[in-house]
Structure 1
């Protein structure tokens, strides 16, 4: 299958209410997306074409399955223990939690390890994540739910690159480039969320469920950026806003009401990923609100 057609199908599954608009904006020609054979993470808009490496797609995939294992590990202790007694090291005294966290650790490390390996060939794929192939069928409900979130993460990052092709730069300074990145993040977020409520109502679903799931997918995309961005440029690189700012803008899009599962799921993902990147989350949250805690974790994503 042509890669551009595959991305069209991705958008049709994730944001079907926007697909006609996307066809007008982005067209239907081949080579709008090109799969580039390179042993590094590559996802960029170049000369009117989105260039992406298979490695980048696999790292995003693994990040999605690692994120769900983070939820599996952290959801229960966050639900059981008051945040004023927050002590993730003590949670490891539970054999069940320790086992779940170990599974998360293995998947998380593979996001980086497959990058160091330079590709899929010869890389030992983890049993905890299905291998992405065309026509993949997933029967396990949790694996399927995670697949849906990975698709949402993928739609968001491709939407961001489409936005680069539409953006009219005002200059070429570092500040101009950072402003372009902000605008493309905002455009992709808008594509994913602006018509989600109407789409949900038209199909008999709860709007906050549809919106919440899409935001979870976008959070996975932003956490992938955190993992793959060297910590020394987390605060600001020459051409991107801080990882903290980019993630925070997604969290702010989670307008109330949110599903009762939303903030504990987001907090589980953020807590697990930030701790694995070396950020010390070792102080009690300022309140018992998981929403507040998610923002506090986000605010600690700083360069050393």
Structure 2
């Protein structure tokens, strides 16, 4: 394993699973008993690293990667201020998404500027080599300081935990599939299965937790789904392929997002779809790929249409 060392006093991955989905404690115990997974912290390097080694039964990651998800979460939440309110209003009135109308808003340029400044700070920190804590974004609370954060900060922190749980569960599924002798027609199909299983682990029994905790079941599921959306949005931000191009081993992020969305039974007006649209628009804006116009019926419909590759016909009509 080269420079890798097992992290005895570092991030508690199994504890993360229990924090993200407390109702799954028996399943977590079974995963440990049946697959005996190991989680290793790799020697630091300036890249995003969180991957399984199925034959050897472990998942390795960088502490830098966990911090990169943390700071990017705040950067993407800042982008919500560019989109969220207007998305809600236009879908309430069943109006089209028209980019020119967003960009004509009096404070949109400033909202873009604020989001870009935080994103730039986040990336400077994440790419520093060696990791330089002096570059930590000033608007983002450090993990150890989150106790004194605002309610909004605590919400973002929870989304980060669910995003990280989704990542680690996805990689753990690779290990389990190998140990169980499961095979797939293509690497893409295995990736989609790992996405499905990880999301199901977090979402399928959330109603049980909500009932035990006397919380609204829709709100519980919605919040967890936002974390999954954050996770996929982070991947869309850090990879070089863009939203619609697939790699040798991975399907496109758009396909992965669409598959995950198809499994969600949340109402079309749920805040999850608004948040997911905002995260997606953040990535599209940074790649210069924002659509000019999309006819949409509700927030879920807008999200699914944002996943389609941009098309232009001779009349430059809206995507219907």
Instruction: Report the TM range for the smaller structure's normalisation.
Output: 0.7 to 0.9
TM-score w.r.t. length of structure 2: 0.82
Using the alignment, how far apart are the partners of 2:32 and 2:269 within structure 1?
A: 33
The 1:96/1:274 distance shift into structure 2, 3 A limit, reads same
Judge which range, 203-212 or 146-155, deviates more: 203-212
Deviations 1:76-126 (CA, angstroms, capped at 9, x unpaired): 222344664534344344453333332222233345444543453266121
Indicate yes or no: 2:250 matched with 1:240.
yes
Are 2:280 and 1:273 aligned? no
Distance verdict in 2 for CA 1:161–1:102, change over 3 Å = same
CA distance in 1, matches of 2:35, 2:299: 45
RMSD, matched Cα = 2.9
Residue pairs, 1:139-288, within 5 angstroms:
139-168=149-178, 176-231=186-241, 234-257=244-267, 260-283=270-293, 285-288=294-297
Q: Report the Cα distance in structure 2 between the residues aligned to 1:45 and 1:210, rounded to whole angstroms.
A: 29
Q: Distance in 2 between matches of 1:27 and 1:258?
A: 39
2:109 corresponds to which of 71, 74, 98: 98
Q: Is the 8 A contact 1:181 1:241 kept in 2?
A: yes
Structure 2: distance between partners of 1:238 and 1:3: 35
- Show the counterpart of 1:15: 21
Report the alpha carbon displacement of residue 245 of structure 1 after superposing the two structures with TM: 0.9
1:33 equivalent in alignment to 2:42: no
The more displaced of 139-148 and 60-69 is: 60-69
Per the alignment, in what secondary structure is the counterpart of residue 160 of structure 1?
A: helix
Contact 1:153 1:217 in 2 (8 A): yes
SS in 2 for 1:34: strand
CA distance in 2 between partners of 1:200 and 1:26 (Å): 25
Unmatched runs of 5 consecutive residues or more in structure 2: 1-6, 312-320
Equivalenced residue count is 298
- Of 111-120 and 100-109, deviating more is 111-120
In the superposition, relative to structure 1, how do residues 101 and 253 fare at CA in structure 2: closer, same or farther (>3 Å)? farther
Aligned residue number for residue 131 of structure 1: 142
User: Shift of the alpha carbon at 1:48?
Assistant: 1.5
Tell me how far apart the structure 2 counterparts of residues 117 and 5 of structure 1 sit (CA, whole Å). Answer: 21
- TM-score, with structure 1 as normaliser: 0.86
Q: Distance in 1 between matches of 2:205 and 2:222?
A: 13
Partner in structure 2 of residue 61 of structure 1: 70
Deviations, residues 207-266 of structure 1 (Å, cap 9, x unaligned): 111111111100110011111121268422111111111111222232143664232222
Q: CA-to-partner distance for each residue in 1:156-183, whole Å, 9 max, x for gaps? A: 1011111111013556x9x532222122
- CA–CA distance in 2 between the matches of 1:204 and 1:103? 38
Segments of 5+ residues of structure 1 without an aligned counterpart are none
